[in-house]
Amino acid sequence: MNYDVVIVASGKGQRAALGYNKVFYRMKDDKTVLEHAASLFVKDEDCKKIVIVTNPELFDEVFENEKITLTKGGKERKDSVYEGLLRCESEYVLIHDAARPFLDERALQKLKEKVVTARAAVLGKIAVDTVKIIEGDRIVKTIDRNKVFLAETPQAFDRKLLLECYSRCEDIEFTDDVSLAESLGYEVSIVIDEYDNRKLTRQEDFEGI
């Protein structure tokens, strides 16, 4: 299968408290978080285009590769994803957070295989902790953790399906692309990620990497 990937790298990352866009943090090997997040797609022959969405003033900070296309981000995350999506051409498209630099090749392969049959699929983990529903400072309900799926990225779609979703999203509130597809009645398949695919968010997440 051929696919393109949109890597969203335009957030401010204020919780990381680095004073600059966290995806340009240099890890122990002197490569940026963004470079690590894109590395599997650079190597994967099935990936035809890597669309990196970030602020124009940071374009010069992005590492060079023949697969890479740069475009500016929008006001909100959904606007940034859409800007990237418009530049994709392959049958399938993956949406990935630039702040996830540890994606495992085996997980990516499972996701690719799933989207070909499902048209929409998401990588993630089943919750291992006890899950509580709260109101204010009170617990009001405990739910079965085996039914709680913690969504990650990449999230994979038939490109035309996701374009249709975005054409109908004006009045829909959604936090990720899978929830947009769900709200419009599309079934989304899950792919269990058994590997480290954590998102770098807070200042302590950058220690030791």
| 145-161 confidence digits (pLDDT tens) | 999 999 999 999 999 99
Give the pLDDT of residue 92: 98
CATH class, domain 3-206, is alpha beta
Tell me the domain boundaries of the chain: 3-206
pLDDT grade for 13, boundaries at 50, 70 and 90: low
Per residue in 28-41, pLDDT (tens digit) is 999 999 999 999 99
Least confident span in 14-18, 69-73, 201-205 = 14-18
Region 59-66: what's the mean pLDDT? 96
Identify which of 107, 111, 110 has the alpha carbon closest to the alpha carbon of residue 122.
111
Q: Report the pLDDT value the prediction gives residue 12, as an integer from 0 to 100.
A: 66
Check whether 99 has a pLDDT greater than 80: yes
Q: In the chain, which ranges are continuous DSSP H helix?
A: 33-43, 77-85, 105-118, 159-167, 177-183
Using CA atoms, how far residue 25 sits from 20, 38, 53, 202, in Å, is 8, 14, 17, 13
Question: What does the alpha-carbon distance between residue 64 and residue 149 come to, in Å, rounded to a whole number?
Answer: 35
